[in-house]
């Protein structure tokens, strides 16, 4: 095989690396057991260079992998000598991981001479991680001790390709569904070993030095692409403020601030997250991987041409973080269990800041949606003699994509950290797996952030237990501060959660957890996404479509969009022109 690394060789080898990652993802997705993995696909795989640079991660969740270099670096610091057959379990928020429920398995790819060339990496959101509360989001935990999760800072879990049984037994003693966890672990190990095998074959075929030279060229190419993409952005420096809602234990919520400095001439973006408070006594501290990932995701979302996301293009995004900061680098023993909630807010604020720089760039804010529709359920299943169960639901009815410069919000966005990448549960699968019934699930009329391009509407879901009681834990945000619109776009509707008692009465539910007794249900309403641009500039044909399809009411079409739609579903052009000629419009 030739070693030319021109545009042809690069294209060929990058295809190969993507193939390796896809093969890993296929095994992990198809063989894992927890619903959150095997149905919702809350998992990722990646290849990292020997220099700990992030190389390839086809079809992964960006928040899982974009800070993957941090974990690889921590691994090499803790284990300077890596051996073939090793595998390491990492879920430590202080060692490059996202949050502790994301179990990462790292396998060094080592040739027959014992030389380390790449590291393959799989990440899976486990159903339970042994925390003191039955959830993978311990939002109210004061610190890692209160959280109680088993933390593994790159703990060797395989040696010579065989399990270190001590570690497995520890997990089995603390994780609530040990068999599910072990099945998921096998899936992760299987995926990592497939990646290792495929890379070893590539090393044989191309020669290792060719592959390393490829990585360097690929990074350089990606950096060139990034420079070019950044040239299209308007220059400027903007600070945007936002806040996570108040929560039990943090009565004032979490104010957050981002400063974005776009320098197209230098081909550079700087994102500064240092002007934020210190770590807080709650689960909402971001990890370094979250903070870095948030900045990268928000910038990539704002590019109008595709740039390969890897260490090369990342050179052009400077992320400034501070130690012991709620949106920075957590210091042990800060709890980071629910760190993705402020991460969503930070991604939103950066996108909004970029939108303020000029027309046609950035995004509105997307719904922040850790609602009960994404709740962690636990209880004992009466259908199988009281077997304990725990799993995170990922129901379709969490929506809220952000309005964009050239299109409406993606309906099933879920949350900014996810960008629509996770799959959704089936009602039937959830009812088969758990003693629950899902009564209602639909989008909500008039809940979108109006705009020239509107945000996606919010959605509602109602479910409850059958023949037993269940605990639901979630992290509601967006009940106070909605997803903001930009450039004249309107905010989306806010989230709520209610409990329907057996009597039929509705009561407010806590923002954190609910115990549901037989006959009771929880009603989750997720946020709508913010709109981009003034709603009165929206194409009347799009407004008509939204009316006919029941996304918005005819009244809202008139009062907010200034478009008159007749009872038979046609745009009344003359009336619309008259209406749009008048001001002002209601908010």
Partner 1 sequence: MAVGPSGRQVRFAVDTGGTFTDLVVEDAEGRFHLYKATTTPDDPAQGVLDVFEIAARDLGTDRRNLLGRGELFIHGTTRATNAILTGMTARTAFLTTRGHPDILLFREGGRTDIFDWSRPYPDPYVPRSLTFEVPERIGADGAIVRPLDEAAAAEIAQKLSERDVEAVAICLLWSTVNPKHERDLAALLDRLLPGVPYTLSHALNPTIREYRRASATAIDASLKPVLTSYLRGLGQRLEEAGLNPQSRLLLVTSSGGLVDADDMAEKPILSIGSGPAMSPVAGREYARAEAAAETTVVTDAGGTSYDVSVVRRGRIPLTRETWLGDPFFGHMTGFPSIDVRSIGAGGGSLARVDSGGLLHVGPQSAGAEPGPACYGRGGTQPTVTDAALVLGYIDPGYFLGGAMRLDLDAAGRALQEHVAGPLSLGLDEAAAAVLRLVTEKMARAIEEITVNQGIDPRMAVLVCGGGAAGLNAVAIARRLGCVQVIIPEPAAALSAAGALMSDLCGEFSLTCLTTTADFDFDAANGSLSELVESCQGFEGGPGADAVETSVELSVEARYVGQTWEISVPLRVTRFGSPPDVEQLRQDFHAAHTELFAVDDPGSEIELVTWHARVSCRLREVSLPHFAPAANRTRESNGSRSAYFAGQGIVDTTVVQAERLAVGETLAGPAIIESPVTTVVLEPGASAKRTVGGSLSILPGSEG
Distance (Å, whole) CA 537 – CA 563 = 10
Residue 101, SS3? Answer: coil
User: Could you give phi then psi for residue 240, rounded to 5 degrees?
Assistant: -125, 140
CA separation for the pair 428, 253 (Å, rounded): 37
Q: How far is CA 259 from the centre of its chain?
A: 21
**Closer of 3 and 324 to partner 1 (Cβ):** 3
If one counts every other C-beta atom within 10 angstroms of the C-beta of residue 201, the result is 12
When the beta carbons of 189 and 493 are compared against partner 1, the nearer one is: 189
Whose Cβ is closer to partner 1: residue 6's or residue 505's?
A: 6
For 81, residues 6+ apart whose C-beta sits below 8 A from its C-beta are none
Minimum Å gap between C-beta 383 and partner 1 is 8
HSE-CB of 535 using CA atoms within 13 angstroms: 31
Torsion, Cα 181 184 190 191, to 10 degrees, reads: -140
Q: What is the dihedral of CA 400, 405, 407, 413, to 10 degrees?
A: -30
Among 371, 421, 365, 419, which Cα is nearest to 395's? 371
Q: Which is nearer to partner 1, 462 or 477 (CB)?
A: 462
CB 485 → partner 1: shortest distance, Å?
17
Is residue 294 within 8 Å of 346, Cβ to Cβ?
yes
Terminal-residue alpha carbon distance, the chain: 64
**Residue among 34 and 285 whose Cβ is closer to partner 1:** 34
| 101 touches 112 (CB < 8 A) | no
Closer to partner 1 by CB, 95 or 452: give it. Answer: 452
Beta carbon of residue 5, minimum distance to partner 1 (angstroms, whole number): 11
Nearest to 449 by CA among 317, 354, 348: 348
Least Å distance, CB 348 to partner 1, is: 15
Instruction: Please identify, using beta-carbon distances, which residue of 27 and 92 lies nearer to partner 1.
Output: 27
Nearer to partner 1, 287 or 521 (CB): 521
User: Residue 583 CB, nearest distance to partner 1 (Å)?
Assistant: 30
In contact, 99 and 338? CB cutoff 8 Å:
yes
DSSP character at residue 155: E
Least CB distance to partner 1 at residue 222 (A): 8
Extract the tokens encoding 538: 């929206």
CB 546 within 8 A of CB 479: no
Strand pairing partners for 516?
A: 470
Match 């060692």 to its residue by tokens. Answer: 95
* CA separation for the pair 98, 292 (Å, rounded): 10
Q: Which CB atom, from 248 or from 569, has the smaller least distance to partner 1?
A: 569
Q: Please report how close the Cβ of residue 422 comes to partner 1 at its closest, in angstroms.
A: 6
The least distance separating partner 1 from the CB of residue 68, rounded to whole angstroms, comes to 15
User: Smallest distance, Å, CB 401 to partner 1?
Assistant: 7
Evaluate whether 74 touches 65 at the Cβ level (below 8 Å): no
How far apart CA 207 and CA 203 sit, in angstroms, is 5
Closest distance of CB 116 from partner 1, Å: 22
Q: Which residue number, 302 or 536, has a Cβ lying nearer to partner 1?
A: 302
145 or 161: CB nearest partner 1 = 161
Minimum Å gap between C-beta 396 and partner 1 is 4
Cα–Cα distance for residue pair 532/460, rounded to 1 Å: 23
From residue 574, give the alpha-carbon distance in Å to each of 123, 540, 547, 563, 579. 56, 12, 18, 10, 9
Nearest to partner 1 of 194, 325 (CB atom): 194
Best CA proximity match to 217, nearest among 207, 209, 229, 228: 209
Q: How far is the CB of 524 from partner 1 (least distance, A)?
A: 14
């Amino acid at each position: 095989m030739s070693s030319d690394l021109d545009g042809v060789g690069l294209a060929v080898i990058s295809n190969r690396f993507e193939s390796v990652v896809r093969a890993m993802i296929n095994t992990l997705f198809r063989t894992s057991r927890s619903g959150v993995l095997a149905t919702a696909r809350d998992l990722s795989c990646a290849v990292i260079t020997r220099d700990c640079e992030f190389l390839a991660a086809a079809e992964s969740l960006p928040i899982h992998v974009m800070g993957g270099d941090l974990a690889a670096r921590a691994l090499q610091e803790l284990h300077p000598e890596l051996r073939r057959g090793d595998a390491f379990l990492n879920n430590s928020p202080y060692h490059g991981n996202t949050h502790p429920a994301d179990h990462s398995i790292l396998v060094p790819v080592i040739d027959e001479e014992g030389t380390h060339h790449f590291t393959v990496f799989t990440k899976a959101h486990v159903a339970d991680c042994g925390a003191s509360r039955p959830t993978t989001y311990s939002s109210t935990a004061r610190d890692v001790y209160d959280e109680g999760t088993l933390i593994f800072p790159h703990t060797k879990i395989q040696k010579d390709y065989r399990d270190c049984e001590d570690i497995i037994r520890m997990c089995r003693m603390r994780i609530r569904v040990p068999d599910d966890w072990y099945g998921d672990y096998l899936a992760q190990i299987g995926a990592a070993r497939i990646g290792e095998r495929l890379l070893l074959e590539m090393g044989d075929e191309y020669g290792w030095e060719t592959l390393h030279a490829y990585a360097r060229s690929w990074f350089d190419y990606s950096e060139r692409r990034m420079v070019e993409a950044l040239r299209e952005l308007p220059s400027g420096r903007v600070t945007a403020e936002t806040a996570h809602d108040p929560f039990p234990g943090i009565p004032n919520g979490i104010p957050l601030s981002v400063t974005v400095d776009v320098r197209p001439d230098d081909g550079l973006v700087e994102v500064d997250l240092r002007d934020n408070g210190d770590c807080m006594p709650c689960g909402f501290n971001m990890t370094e991987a979250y903070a870095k990932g948030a900045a990268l995701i928000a910038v990539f979302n704002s590019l109008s041409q595709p740039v390969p996301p890897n260490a090369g293009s990342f050179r052009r995004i400077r992320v400034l973080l501070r130690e012991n900061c709620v949106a920075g680098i957590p210091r042990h023993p800060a709890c980071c269990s629910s760190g993705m909630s402020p991460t969503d807010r930070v991604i939103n604020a950066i996108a909004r800041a970029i939108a303020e720089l000029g027309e046609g760039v950035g995004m509105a804010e997307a719904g922040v949606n850790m609602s009960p529709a994404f709740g962690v359920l636990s209880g004992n299943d009466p259908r199988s003699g009281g077997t304990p169960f725990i799993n995170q639901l990922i129901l379709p009815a969490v929506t809220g994509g952000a309005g964009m410069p050239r299109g409406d919000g993606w309906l099933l966005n879920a949350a900014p950290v996810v960008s629509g990448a996770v799959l959704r549960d089936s009602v039937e699968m959830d009812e088969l797996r758990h003693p629950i019934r899902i009564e209602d699930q639909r989008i909500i009329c008039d809940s979108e952030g109006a705009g020239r391009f509107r945000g996606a509407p919010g959605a509602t879901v109602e479910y409850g237990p059958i023949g037993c009681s269940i605990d639901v834990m979630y992290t509601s945000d967006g009940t106070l501060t909605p997803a903001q619109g930009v450039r004249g776009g309107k905010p989306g509707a806010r989230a709520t959660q209610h409990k329907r008692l057996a009597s039929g009465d509705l009561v407010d539910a806590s923002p954190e957890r609910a115990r549901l007794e037989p006959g009771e249900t929880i009603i989750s309403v997720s946020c709508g996404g913010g709109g981009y641009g003034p709603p009165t500039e929206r194409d009347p044909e799009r407004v008509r479509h939204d009316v006919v399809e029941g996304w918005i009411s005819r009244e809202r079409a008139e009062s907010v969009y200034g478009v008159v739609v007749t009872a038979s579903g046609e745009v009344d052009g003359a009336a619309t022109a008259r209406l749009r000629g008048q001001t002002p419009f209601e908010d």
